[in-house]
């Protein structure tokens, strides 16, 4: 390690000598970075010298994670790491839009993104329209002269419908509108939005990328340097900065991301077929299955890797749903996704509880509907636990 030549009176002014370097990224919780002279600090602010100043403006652990995700996404400009997926969504919607603008969102976006569209943006004088991201015609219909941005997810939650990204990218390009894609479910392992016309890519790193349900982190990157700058400045001003420790944990999680994703999505695909063969299961949703309405589009956009999410509907309504979660021992009934362990979510009692029964019915979300985020368990053990719990729910 290099000798720290200018310490403080309070702290040690040298670090232990070492001719060798640590193999893993050091955790750097320092909020402030000391400069030698005002001239050097000036040069850093001007960008003539690379250096950290104050950690809200950037720190090594965020940059390490940011460059990892940049490479995975093929980001044309360095992305920004934020304190959560929602802070990345906030940076896009609040950092890029102004009063009088109009924004279009997919009508099956993540719950909090929907809420921001419905409650917060209108309060700031930004008009919003929510439409089916699988129907380019419907999206085109709601475009206005002041429409600035379209925000979509590739695979919707929890019904796993696939957005018409190619159609939307063409529409956005023709009409000079920004296309922002939240790639949390599909991840760059299955889909690369920048290669498919997106101007902005968003992640909840909390989910599959970090993968262990022990950090909250977000990421946003833009195609152009101008957009990337605006996002970065807004994130710094609004204080969306991530904690170094969360970045450090996420880096560790991301080292195994490709392996985890491939294994989980392979098991998910098989689990979908197993579930479809069980008595008591009314319906199974997985984008590669023959009965999925967007099968062709999923194959076109995602190739051979779909996602680790499977949704299914139990016969017997809420009563069967309660019996199922009680019997599904070892599977966490918890509102997250992308963990190393399989988790179950019940949209009618959680993510979609604010909708009326009629609205839920229109989306196909009944009281027996579950979304499964498949983890890394032994597949045969997992299939058996599901078969036993589905059977228990029918008695
Ligand atoms: C979880 C999630 C978010 C929000 O991310 P947080 O890290 O929980 O703030 C945004 N979009 C999608 C698709 C998500 O699943």
Supply the CATH number for residue 389's domain. 3.90.1150.10
Q: Please give the pLDDT value at position 279.
A: 97
If residue 230 lies in a helix (H) or strand (E), which one and from where to where?
A: helix 225-238
Please give the pLDDT value at position 335.
86
Range of the domain at 369: 257-393
Dist. CA 347–CA 42, nearest whole Å: 52
Does residue 17 lie in a domain region?
no
> Is residue 53 a contact partner of residue 47, using CB atoms and an 8 Å limit?
no
Q: For residue 5, what pLDDT is reported?
A: 57
Give the chain's end-to-end CA distance (angstroms, integer): 65
pTM of the predicted model as reported, rounded to 2 decimal places: 0.96
Whether 2 is in a domain gets the answer: no
Q: What is the pLDDT of residue 1?
A: 42
Is 274 found in the same domain as 237?
no
Atom of ligand 1 nearest to the CA of 207: 1
One domain, residues 235 and 90: yes
Separation between Cα atoms, residue 234 and residue 328, nearest integer Å: 44
Query: Per-residue confidence of the chain (395 residues) as pLDDT tens digits?
Result: 445 556 788 888 778 899 999 999 999 999 999 999 999 999 998 989 999 999 999 999 999 999 999 999 999 999 999 999 999 999 999 999 999 999 999 999 999 999 999 999 999 999 999 999 999 999 999 999 999 999 999 999 999 999 999 999 999 999 999 999 999 999 999 999 999 999 999 999 999 999 999 999 999 999 999 999 999 999 999 999 999 999 999 999 999 999 999 999 999 999 999 999 999 999 999 999 999 999 999 999 999 999 999 999 999 999 999 999 999 999 999 988 999 999 999 999 998 998 899 989 998 999 999 999 999 999 999 999 999 999 999 98
Q: Is 330 exposed, middle or buried (0-12, 13-18, 19+ CB in 10 A)?
A: exposed
What's the pLDDT at 256? Answer: 98
Residue at a domain's end among 220, 254, 288: 254
Q: Is 353 part of any domain?
A: yes
Is the Cβ atom of 186 under 6 angstroms away from ligand 1? no
Is the beta carbon of 309 within 6 A of some atom in ligand 1? no
Structure tokens at 51: 């250096």
Structure tokens at 126: 């930004």
Question: Atom 4 in ligand 1: which residue has the minimum CA distance?
Answer: 85
**235, 254, 273: which is the final residue of a domain?**
254
DSSP string of 151-181, one letter each residue: EEESB-TTT--B--HHHHHHHHHHHT-EEEE
The pair of structure tokens assigned to 90 is 């906030």
Ligand 1 pocket: which of 206, 308, 339 to mutate (most atoms within 8 A of CB): 206
User: Do 192 and 106 reside in the same domain of the chain?
Assistant: yes
Shortest-distance atom of ligand 1 to CA 336 = 1
Q: What is the dihedral of CA 85, 87, 93, 94, to 10 degrees?
A: 180
Determine contact, residues 345/334, Cβ cutoff 8 Å: yes
Mutate which of 81, 83, 85 to test ligand 1's pocket (most atoms within 8 Å of Cβ)?
A: 85
- Distance from C-alpha of 217 to C-alpha of 62, rounded to nearest angstrom: 10
Question: Same structural domain for residues 245 and 321?
Answer: no
Nearest-CA residue for ligand 1 atom 2 is 204
Give, in degrees to the nearest 5, the angle at Cα 257 between 213 and 111. 45
Ligand 1 pocket, residue 219 CB under 6 Å: no
CATH code of the domain covering residue 117:
3.40.640.10
Q: Number of helices (H) and strands (E), helices first, in the chain?
A: 15, 12
184 CB less than 6 Å from ligand 1? yes
Q: Which atom of ligand 1 is nearest to the CA of 109?
A: 13
Q: Is 90 in the pocket of ligand 1 (CB under 6 A)?
A: no
Paired tokens of 271? 């689990």
pLDDT given at position 18: 92
How far apart CA 344 and CA 370 sit, in angstroms, is 7
Evaluate whether 64 touches 55 at the Cβ level (below 8 Å): no
Q: Is the CB of 201 under 6 A from ligand 1?
A: no
Q: Could you tell me if the CB of 86 is within 6 A of ligand 1?
A: yes
Q: Where is the domain boundary, 199, 229, 254?
A: 254
Q: Is the CB of 28 under 6 A from ligand 1?
A: no
CB 209 within 8 A of CB 236: no
Angle at 239 between CA 235 and CA 242, to 5 degrees: 85
Q: Return d(Cα 338, Cα 184) in angstroms, integer.
A: 9
Is there an atom of ligand 1 within 6 Å of 313 CB? no
Neighbours of 7 (CB within 10 A): 13
- Report the nearest-CA residue for atom 7 of ligand 1: 85
Helices 257-276 and 379-393, packing angle to 10 deg? 40
- H or E stretch at 317: helix 317-327
Distance 156 CA to ligand 1 centre (A): 12
Yes or no: say if 307 and 335 are a contact pair by the CB < 8 Å rule: no
The pick from 204, 247, 249 for probing ligand 1's pocket by mutation, whose C-beta has the most ligand atoms within 8 angstroms, reads 204
């Amino acid at each position: 390690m290099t000798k720290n030549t200018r310490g403080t009176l309070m702290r040690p002014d040298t670090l232990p000598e070492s001719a060798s370097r640590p193999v893993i990224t050091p955790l750097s919780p320092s909020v402030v970075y000391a400069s030698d002279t005002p001239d050097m600090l000036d040069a850093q602010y001007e960008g003539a010298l690379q250096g950290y100043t104050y950690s809200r403006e950037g720190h090594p652990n965020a940059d390490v994670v940011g460059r990892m995700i940049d490479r995975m996404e093929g980001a044309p400009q360095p992305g920004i790491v934020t304190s959560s997926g929602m802070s990345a969504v906030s940076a896009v919607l609040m950092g890029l839009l102004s009063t009088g603008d109009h924004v279009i969102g997919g009508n099956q976006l993540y719950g909090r993104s929907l809420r921001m569209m419905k409650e917060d943006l209108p309060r700031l004088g930004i008009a919003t329209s929510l439409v089916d991201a699988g129907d380019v015609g419907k999206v085109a219909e709601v475009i206005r002269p002041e429409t600035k941005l379209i925000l979509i997810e590739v695979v919707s939650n929890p019904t796993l419908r696939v957005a018409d990204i190619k159609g939307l990218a063409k529409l956005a390009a023709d009409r000079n509108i920004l296309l922002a894609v939240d790639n949390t479910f599909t991840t760059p392992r299955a889909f690369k939005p920048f290669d498919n016309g997106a101007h902005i890519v968003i992640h909840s790193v909390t989910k599959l990328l970090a993968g262990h349900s022990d950090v909250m982190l977000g990421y946003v990157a833009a195609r152009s340097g101008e957009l990337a700058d605006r996002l970065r400045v807004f994130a710094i001003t609004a204080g969306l900065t991530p904690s170094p420790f969360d970045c450090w944990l996420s880096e560790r999680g991301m080292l195994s991301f490709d392996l985890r994703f491939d294994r989980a999505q392979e098991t998910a695909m098989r689990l979908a077929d197993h579930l479809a063969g069980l008595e008591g299961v009314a319906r199974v949703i997985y984008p590669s299955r023959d009965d999925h309405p967007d099968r062709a589009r999923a194959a076109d956009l995602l190739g051979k890797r779909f996602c680790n999410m499977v949704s299914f509907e139990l016969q017997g309504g809420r009563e069967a749903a309660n019996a199922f979660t009680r019997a599904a021992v070892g599977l966490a009934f918890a509102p997250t996704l992308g963990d190393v362990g399989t988790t179950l979510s019940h949209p009618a009692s959680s993510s979609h509880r604010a909708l009326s029964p009629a609205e839920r019915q229109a989306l196909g979300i009944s009281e027996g509907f579950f979304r499964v985020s498949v983890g890394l368990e032994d597949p045969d053990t997992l299939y058996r636990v599901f078969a036993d719990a589905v059977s228990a729910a029918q008695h």
